[in-house]
Amino acid sequence: MDTYTTVKNRILSLCEEKRITINKLATESGVAPSTIKNILYGKSQNPGIITLKMLCDGLGISLIEFFNTDDFKNLEQEIK
């Protein structure tokens, strides 16, 4: 799995786990719904760390918690 897909899946998984919609995440995080949708639908495949931090704040988790998964730990190197 690539990094983009892993980030996208993590956001979706956390929304499901916390039972919030994308619009609710946008409201809670201060990130525009269109920005979140661009990440989820592949238009923006390289979200910045500030955007991810804001999403984490909206989800009530830290960046460490966001990235602390087996999927992220097992990512292959992007540059070969």
CB 35 within 8 A of CB 43: no
Give the structural domain span for 23: 3-67
Query: Which residue has better confidence, 76 or 71?
Result: 71
Residue 40 — φ and ψ, nearest 5°? -70, -30
pLDDT digit string (tens) for 9-40?
999 999 999 999 999 999 999 999 999 999 99
In a domain, 79, yes or no: no
pLDDT digit string (tens) for 38-67?
999 999 989 999 999 999 999 999 999 999
Give the span between the Cα atoms of 69 and 18, in whole angstroms.
17
DSSP string covering 38-65, please? HHHTTS-SS--HHHHHHHHHHHT--HHH
CATH of the domain at 36: 1.10.260.40
How many domains does the chain divide into? 1
Measured from the Cβ of residue 2, the count of other Cβ atoms closer than 10 Å reads 11
State percent of the chain over pLDDT 70.
Answer: 100
